[in-house]
Structure 1
Amino acid sequence: MKYADLHTHTLASDGTQAPSDNVRLAAEAGLAAIAITDHDTVAGVAEALEAGLRYGVEVVPGVEVSTMSKGRDIHVLGYYVNPEDERFLRRLAEIRDVRDRRNVMMLQRLNELGLDISMEDVVASLQVSKKDGETIGRPHIADALVRKGYVADMKEAFDRYLGADGAAYVNPPRIGPAVAVQWILESGGVPVLAHPGLYDQDELIEELAGQGLAGLEAYHSDHTPQQEEHYRQIAERLNLIVTAGSDFHGERGGVVFHAPVGARKIDVSVLERLESARRRDL
């Protein structure tokens, strides 16, 4: 059997590996395909596609769009989006603007809590300089917190400060997930709800299924086996495509965040279903 990991991040957003490295890791893991799904950007897709030819790995051009529902972050994966669609690129830039404002607000909150940390500190902690269209997110702020000795590791940074229950957490208004679904469809892509077990909003799945959602990431590194079966059954009931992803972000402080490439995978035949869903919507 051949497998695909359909959720990975690169240096284009908050991963620590170049897009070509993700593809290389997929080849080393024996995968037939990998998706590049950076947060609110497709800046890493071109490099990954080129690497796919070298390593003999199919690369699915993707994105993970940041949205909000009931005050919580909701992420919508888009597969086979057009990375040259100017309207879609402008829309992603708008979301990145919100992300940038959020970063500033979180840093202000950290300062109010007595932690001397600035955007300059965050930029200094980056492994490489960010290019146009790439993003800075909470893991980068967490890196700076570790570097300055305020926390021991990424987990403590999120638990104490940056996670949904953290003291410095803020969440300015964003687009809703239904808008992201529509944007992905209009870019010729296939929308799939990422890691639904992290939201506690199962009613959202059926709502989005009626608005063009094509799939559900039932198998995810942060899901329990019980959750994976639960969401597989929901996907089957709603005729949604079941997908799987490691949510690989690379290694920080000697720990892989969330899981290694290929830690969650699914039969590569799922790509045929995603392609079919895409053709129906074109």
Structure 2
Amino acid sequence: MFADLHIHTTFSDGASTPEEVVRMAAQAKLRAVAITDHDTMDGFWPARREAELLGVDILEGVELSTEHDGMEVHILAYCIGPENTRFQEHMDVFRNARLSRAQKIVTKLQHLGIDISFDEVLKTAGHGSVGRPHIAQVLLATGKISSIAEAFEYYIGVGKPAYEPRLKYHPAEMVMLVRKLGGVPVLAHPGISCADDLIVSLIEAGLQGLEVYHPKHPREMENYYLGLCRTYGLVATGGSDFHGTGMAGHGRLGEGKAPYTTVLQLRALAAANGR
């Protein structure tokens, strides 16, 4: 039995609804999934309702964006319930910062003579957490660019004319926050986001897991991070980083997965953290 513990839905920058994700997971014979949208847990409830009908286990999750030395570092927070009001207060701060950032990017695009509106971006995002991919989708839909990649390359990528920095948190801050609230912090796809010296410092801050199994981690890298997990007593998690069928740059549902026992390990850690 396996679990895919890194999945995005229409509640952030994914193309599939939480219900669709659960149905696909059941078809793929996955025992468990975690919906890990960016800065929101609103997709958990519809996913859980569908999961109860189909016999799929759902683990609470969210992906939090941080920055270290100019590089994005993502922390996966597991086992903090969406009913946790203290955590939701922090989510509100993150989401409001995303809205403000998106507004500033749209204003910069308008100053460049690119006529799109913030309302179009909000409509594209739907009930999801707004991000640069939604702006890129509007640019593509209105014919301003010929591909999503072009939006980042010429306009909204780091250092480009319409780029706007995000609200900056250091990954250690986020790790400590997740632990304080009783959750389990895991470093997402370490092979593509950070150096080993940061991993060691995050472990000292309270990091409890590494996302070992990921579509962009070759076998040699998986073995390396498994070794780190054994050395430091971390949980080895895994996920596809699924954003929807056919979404370029991301894995297929279940392509990155961990044994179902990982779900039990994460829940046991959360129970210990909450004592």
User: Given the two structures, how large is their TM-score scaled by the length of structure 2?
Assistant: 0.91
Change (3 A) 1:115 1:235: farther
Aligned AA (2:165): N
Structure 2 match to 1:26: 25
Q: Give the residue type in structure 2 aligned to 1:260.
A: R
2:252 aligns with: 260
Q: 1:178 to 1:226 in 2, by over 3 A?
A: same
**Residue 247 (structure 2) pairs with residue 246 (structure 1):** no
Structure 2 stretches of 5 or more lacking a match?
none
In the alignment, does 2:31 pair up with 1:37? no
Deviation at 1:257, TM superposition (A): 5.3
Q: Does 1:182 align with 2:181?
A: no
Q: CA deviation at 1:216?
A: 0.5
When residues 152 and 43 of structure 1 are mapped into structure 2, their CA distance, relative to the original with a 3 A threshold, is same
Checking the alignment, whether the CA contact within 8 Å between 2:73 and 2:194 is kept in structure 1 is no
Structure 1 pair 101/222, CA: closer, same or farther in 2 (3 Å)?
farther
Counterpart in the other structure of 2:63 = 64
Selected match of 2:144 from 146, 150, 159: 150
Query: Cα–Cα, structure 1 residues 167 and 27, in superposed 2: closer, same or farther, change >3 Å?
Result: farther
After superposition, residues 71-82 of structure 1 pair within 5 angstroms as 71-82=70-81
**Residue of structure 1 in register with 2:105 after alignment:** 106
Contact in 1 for aligned 2:210/2:235 (Cα 8 Å): yes
What are the superposed Cα offsets for residues 199-247 of structure 1, whole Å, 9 maximum, x if unpaired?
2332111111112111011222233444333333322322211111111
How many residues align structurally?
Answer: 274
Are the aligned partners of 1:98 and 1:174 in contact in 2 as well (CA < 8 Å)?
A: no
Letter in 2 for 1:155: A
Change (3 A) 1:205 1:148: same
In the alignment, residue 146 of structure 1 is paired with which amino acid?
L
1-side partners of 2:206 and 2:194: how far apart? 21
2:270 aligned partner: 278
On the 8 A contact 1:67/1:73 being kept in 2, the answer is yes
Q: Structure 1 regions of 5+ residues with no counterpart?
A: none
In 2, Cα distance between equivalents of 1:103 and 1:188: 31
Q: SS at 1:17's partner residue?
A: coil
Tell me how far 1:138 sits from its aligned partner. Answer: 1.5
Tell me the percent identity.
39
User: Which segment is superposed worse, 79-88 or 172-181?
Assistant: 172-181
- TM normalised by structure 1 equals 0.89
- Could you tell which deviates more after superposition, 220-229 or 264-273? 220-229
Aligned-pair CA distance for 1:19: 1.0
Q: Tell me the C-alpha RMSD between the 2 structures.
A: 2.0
